[in-house]
Amino acid sequence: MKKIAKHFVTLFSIVLLLSAASDYFAQSQQTTLKGKVVNAETNEPIQYATVFIAFTSKGCLTDENGEFIITNIAEGKYEVVCAAVGYEKITTNHSLKTGKEINVTYELKPVPIQVNEINITASVPEDWEDDLLKFTKEFLGESSLSEHCTIANPEVIDFEIRDDELIASSKQPLYIFNQALGYKVTIYIKEFVWNTNFDLGKIAYEPFFEDMHSDKLDEETEWKKNRKETYLGSFRHFLKSCADNKVYEQGFRLYEFKDDEWFKRPIVKSVLWQSEKSLDTLLARILSKDSDNSFKIESKNTIAVLFLNKGEDSNYKWYKKRVYRTDELKIFPVFLFEISDRNFIVQ
């Protein structure tokens, strides 16, 4: 897991931006994932189990026979999550190829109910609300869009303080609503550890998107407009520009930090005047093509990404006076990204 610097990476915004880009890849060739979910001990089918592709809106519930089918999936590498009440969640990796239907069986282990875990209390633990505020700030971010995000069931989150680190976990998924983009997002937290002294943390999660619906036409129109605007300059936009070999043309500039130089957060003025040739030289070293629909960005150093065609988010202008956006994904440890036209995997 990588250390992430506050103010330069808004993790929940990554999720929103990835999903917001989905309309831009509708022309990709498609494939199908189907199968069955069963009890690992009895082999009985599990009804109403959730099966979804992480970081997408592709998913469904199993029927009375435990069967499911997910169609219209673009070719690529994906994390597939399978979960059901009373069972351990599992995550599997699949490489989907166009024209090749994949048939799988997911076996879920029942979770034994521990009597001593049942604890009914009328009050919340001391400092829980303060911990929730810190968690919400770091998990959802502080951009103007994140102000429209709400966690519908925060009571399922457990907090622990260990060596100046805030640790959050949940045995149940979080349900998050974003009124600015019109999404309901189901989030399974894999890891949340935030060092309150250094303002650095480790966060991992598996999200599933569902479109919200409104009776107001103007609200639906506003959602579409916000999604399109949010995509511009986003991490998803950057990755798609890499895949299309249009990084410079799309307005992105890159700078590679050495060792722990990124932690000092220097403002590199020279990158603003980066030539196309200089950018191409850097990309040629860190970007490679694996197949027709898969690319890799690999670097042992940290890559700063600047997008020149969009102004700073208003909520970050107080932080430091800058001309260009720094609120989302402008400095991040690359290490290894695998990119296809609909998804990416970080290692």
Candidates 191, 209, 199; CA nearest to 138 is: 199
* Alpha helices (H) along 66-170: 128-140
Are 289 and 295 in contact by the 8 Å Cβ rule? The answer is: yes
Quote the CATH superfamily of domain 25-115. Carboxypeptidase-like, regulatory domain (2.60.40.1120)
Domain boundaries, the chain: 25-115, 242-346
Query: pTM for the complete prediction?
Result: 0.75
Order of all β-strands in the sheet with 50-53: 59-61, 50-53, 76-83, 90-96
d(CA 296, CA 338): 4
Q: What is the DSSP letter of 223?
A: H
Task: Give 159's contacts (C-beta < 8 A, 6+ positions apart).
Answer: 125, 127, 128, 131, 132, 135, 166, 167, 168
Which residues are bridge partners to 195 per DSSP?
Answer: 165, 200
Residue-wise pLDDT tens for the chain (347 aa)? Answer: 333 333 333 444 444 444 444 444 444 568 999 999 999 999 999 999 999 999 889 999 999 999 999 999 988 888 999 999 999 999 999 988 877 899 999 999 999 876 555 555 556 677 999 999 999 998 988 777 788 899 999 999 999 999 889 999 999 999 999 999 999 999 999 999 998 888 778 888 999 999 999 999 899 999 999 888 888 887 778 878 887 889 999 988 887 766 555 444 444 555 667 889 989 998 888 887 765 556 677 777 767 777 887 655 555 444 443 333 333 333 333 333 444 333 333 33
Task: Please answer whether residues 339 and 239 qualify as being in contact, where contact means their C-beta atoms are separated by less than 8 angstroms.
Answer: yes
